[in-house]
Chain A
Amino acid sequence: AQSVSQHNHHVILSEAASLELGCNYSYGGTVNLFWYVQYPGQHLQLLLKYFSGDPLVKGIKGFEAEFIKSKFSFNLRKPSVQWSDTAEYFCAVHGSSNTGKLIFGQGTTLQVKP
């Protein structure tokens, strides 16, 4: 069965620190990969996505993610976090043979201290 694992459940950083959130997936075929963010009291929003091509994907608000096929990973990074990045982050995978459903990880809560 397909699954997504996010290694860090709760991350606390100071402003300007660098961020890397881990995401590994298990799926043998072609995948589309996503990172979603949920700010407090708001709905899930797409940060970035990977379908094909350059494995380094740039998203909104300075986020990027790198798809490493050999490691089944799609880690999210940001060089310098801001207090406004405090949110919950979800990695998700869509398998090409699916009907379109996303498989989500458990989520990582990021708390940025001012």
Chain B
Amino acid sequence: GAGVSQSPRYKVAKRGQDVALRCDPISGHVSLFWYQQALGQGPEFLTYFQNEAQLDKSGLPSDRFFAERPEGSVSTLKIQRTQQEDSAVYLCASSTTGGSGYTFGSGTRLTVV
């Protein structure tokens, strides 16, 4: 597609539920990033893929967060046993090479109740 597509746009989860957030990057984009944006804050880095390889996961806040990109295109961010502090907008971005300027998706707004 023409842009980065994320689904769902909105997700409400009960505390303790598992959620899966999907990102479809721009076709051919090698690099894929996930960011977390809390209300009133700038996006914070979670993890980075180059093709199917997860090269940096230093931003994942706990072992409840897991990301994958098995075929080097679509990526899924999974959050297990969601907690209220996980409520945020989760942004996906892709680029041809890291650092050259990214295209961001519209994000998934996760609300944990």
The interface size of chain B toward A, counting residues with CB under 8 Å, comes to: 27
Interface residues of B in 76-113 (CB under 8 A from A): 91, 93, 95, 97-99, 101-102, 104-107
Residues of B within 8 A of A42 (CB): 106
Tell me the number of A-to-B contacts counted with CB atoms below 8 Å. Answer: 62
In which size bucket is the chain A interface? 20 to 34
Tell me the bound Cα distance from A67 to B107 in angstroms. Answer: 30
What residue in chain B is nearest A34 (Cβ atoms)? B101
Which one of A12-20, A43-51, A70-78 is at the B interface?
A: A43-51
Q: A32 at the A/B interface (Cβ < 8 Å)?
A: yes
Whether the pair B102, A102 counts as a contact (CB closer than 8 A) is yes
Q: B45 at the A/B interface (Cβ < 8 Å)?
A: yes
Residues of A within 8 A of B40 (CB): 106-107
Tell me the bound Cα distance from A102 to B43 in angstroms. Answer: 9
Whether the pair B104, A99 counts as a contact (CB closer than 8 A) is no
Whether the pair B91, A99 counts as a contact (CB closer than 8 A) is no
**A99-B98 contact, Cβ under 8 Å, with A90-B43, A105-B42:** yes
Smallest beta-carbon distance B65→chain A, Å: 15
Q: Give the B-binding residues of A (Cβ under 8 A).
A: 4, 6, 32, 34, 36, 42-46, 49, 90, 92, 94, 96, 98-107
